[in-house]
Amino acid sequence: MSDLPRKAVARTAKLAALPLGFAGRTALGLGKRIGGRPAEMIAAELQQRTAEQLFATLGQLKGGAMKLGQALSVFESALPEQVAGPYRAALTKLQEAAPPMPVKSVHAALAERLGPDWPDLFQEFEDKPAAAASIGQVHRAVWRDGRQVAVKVQYPGAGEALLSDLTQLGRFAKLLGPLVPGMDIKPLISELRDRVSEELDYELEARAQREHAREFAGDPDVTVPEVVHQSDQVLVTEWLEGTPLSEVIAKGSQEQRDRAGQLLARFLFSGAARTGLLHADPHPGNFRLLTGDSPDGPPERWRLGVLDFGTVDRLPQGLPPEIGTALRLALDGEAEEVLQLLCAEGFVKPGTELDPGAVLDYLLPIIEPARTAEFTFSRDWMRAQAARIADPRSPAYQLARQLNLPPSYLLIHRVTTSTIGVLCQLGATVRLRDEMEAWVPGFAAGSLSQEAPA
């Protein structure tokens, strides 16, 4: 019934063509260089052509290929403009859509998972999907009690396709690295593989969404749709009407951008504190800006709609207080204490000798948004950070190679950096420090006497 396993050979061939194409372009670039063209010009041209092939291929496939594409799309703001500019539309499409499953396959899947009388559960059901993503697609419908609902149907064979794609992509992860300066793609692919089983389990997703919906019920800033019905590989939730965040990124007003950015930062930090769960898939396709009946204002009444709780990090005590403590110590210039805390938490491997001042110099530009009352995120700022860490001649590059990311912080790090990537795409001015002081343990002024290492 599924077109994913049936086309496995074709999928593998498309993915395998990526490193072959990269190798061919590299050889062509070498020939041009011998012919006298500047190395920088050739490198930019190779990067642009590789990006074109990568985004086109990932956009054509569901499963793990699209999952990686969505994860990479939030780092678009780190790419050089000559690469990102022409493909911004393709990246946005990766965040919102994929080729839909045939209607006959949808009906067969619903009959198998909800029973042959599945149409009786709905007053109306739209066969044309409202959205199609990496492992499932969403149909708009009217539930039997009259509520507008979203029906998420998992692609048959989605798990097999996810694992196959990510295994294949993992084999040539190093070739993709140059596309996103300062980012190691191999751990990202590995971490996506680790989360496959969770994302395929709609019961786990329903439980996480219910917990968020209960906690944020009546919240003036964040809306989470209620779960209406859940069964194996089908999830029915209340429909959420709003402007997709990808649309705000593409053509939103500055007021919309700023409000969406503030709410995104608020949800990032408050969600973990209030629910003990960290929403771990922060690409723009999973968020809506809800402007209600007054899209022209006032912005302070606009809310953030949050979708897709298939991937969460379970943090019963909220974010580790060591994160906030380290950030506050860094902002206060306490280099020795920062290094001591990083060593204690495993960010520095035993036996590695680092200069505290160099560690502080590495961190301060990255945490600049938390230094001032408000900060304007931008692609230029993101590119500067990425270039600083990616340049082998840079002290930041040399120091980064000596740092370690403990497994317990891996998902937190990805969610934080992905969210910052989205804020840079928005170009939003955000009062980040306010949100961190309110929700990040150990960060608020005056908390260090209890939190700081002895």
Q: What is the pLDDT of residues 90-115, one digit of tens each?
A: 555 554 445 678 899 999 999 999 99
Please report the pLDDT score of residue 272 as a whole number: 95
Strands 148-154 and 136-143: antiparallel
Contacts of residue 108, defined as CB under 8 A and 6 or more positions apart, other chains included, come to: 1
pLDDT tens digits, 34-87: 444 344 433 455 455 655 566 556 555 555 555 566 666 555 555 656 555 554
pLDDT at 449 over 80: no
Query: 272 lies in a domain?
Result: no
Q: What is the mean pLDDT of residues 130-150?
A: 90
30: left (phi over 0), alpha (psi -120 to 50) or beta: alpha
Please report the pLDDT score of residue 390 as a whole number: 76
Please report the pLDDT score of residue 106 as a whole number: 94
Per-residue confidence band for 342, with pLDDT thresholds at 50, 70 and 90: very high
Contacts of residue 272, defined as CB under 8 A and 6 or more positions apart, other chains included, come to: 278, 313, 315, 318, 319, 439
Q: What is the mean pLDDT of residues 305-318?
A: 92
pLDDT tens digits, 360-393: 999 999 999 999 999 999 999 998 888 888 788 8
pTM assigned to the model: 0.78
Burial of 214 (0-12, 13-18, 19+ CB in 10 A): exposed
pLDDT tens digits, 176-203: 655 555 456 677 677 667 777 777 889 9
The span from the CA of 384 to the CA of 387, in Å, is: 5
HSE (side-chain half, CA atoms, 13 Å) at 448: 16
Residues 23 and 164 in one domain: yes
pLDDT tens digits, 237-265: 999 999 999 999 999 999 999 999 999 99
Burial of 258 (0-12, 13-18, 19+ CB in 10 A): buried
Residues 4 and 135 in one domain: yes
Residues 190 and 337 in one domain: no
Please report the pLDDT score of residue 61 as a whole number: 54
Q: Which of 1-10, 26-35, 50-59, 326-335 has the lowest mean pLDDT?
A: 26-35
280 within 8 A of 412, measured Cβ to Cβ: no
Q: What percent of the chain has pLDDT over 90?
A: 49
Give the end of a domain, one of 200, 223, 240: 200
Give the end of a domain, one of 149, 174, 200: 200
Per-residue confidence band for 21, with pLDDT thresholds at 50, 70 and 90: very low
Burial of 276 (0-12, 13-18, 19+ CB in 10 A): middle
Query: 263 lies in a domain?
Result: no
Of 264 and 156, which is predicted with more confidence? 264
Task: Report which DSSP code applies to 161.
Answer: H
The span from the CA of 452 to the CA of 436, in Å, is: 17
Query: 213 lies in a domain?
Result: no
| Bridge partners, residue 230, by sequence | 235
Residues 8 and 146 in one domain: yes
The span from the CA of 29 to the CA of 262, in Å, is: 44
Please report the pLDDT score of residue 22 as a whole number: 46
Give the end of a domain, one of 147, 165, 200: 200
Query: 354 lies in a domain?
Result: yes
- Find the domain containing 128 and state its range: 1-200
Query: 292 lies in a domain?
Result: no
Is residue 452 classed as helix, strand or coil in its secondary structure?
coil
Of 158 and 429, which is predicted with more confidence? 429
The total domain count for the chain is 2
Q: What is the mean pLDDT of residues 318-347?
A: 95
Give me the residue label for tokens 């708009």: 140
Per-residue confidence band for 31, with pLDDT thresholds at 50, 70 and 90: very low
Query: 433 lies in a domain?
Result: yes
Please report the pLDDT score of residue 133 as a whole number: 66
Residues 162 and 19 in one domain: yes
Please report the pLDDT score of residue 349 as a whole number: 82
Q: What percent of the chain has pLDDT over 70?
A: 70
Per-residue confidence band for 135, with pLDDT thresholds at 50, 70 and 90: confident
Query: 441 lies in a domain?
Result: yes
Query: 369 lies in a domain?
Result: yes
- Angle 94-95-98 from CA coordinates, rounded to 5°: 50
Cis amide linkage into residue 298, ω under 30° from 0: yes
Closest CA to 359 of 388, 400, 408: 400
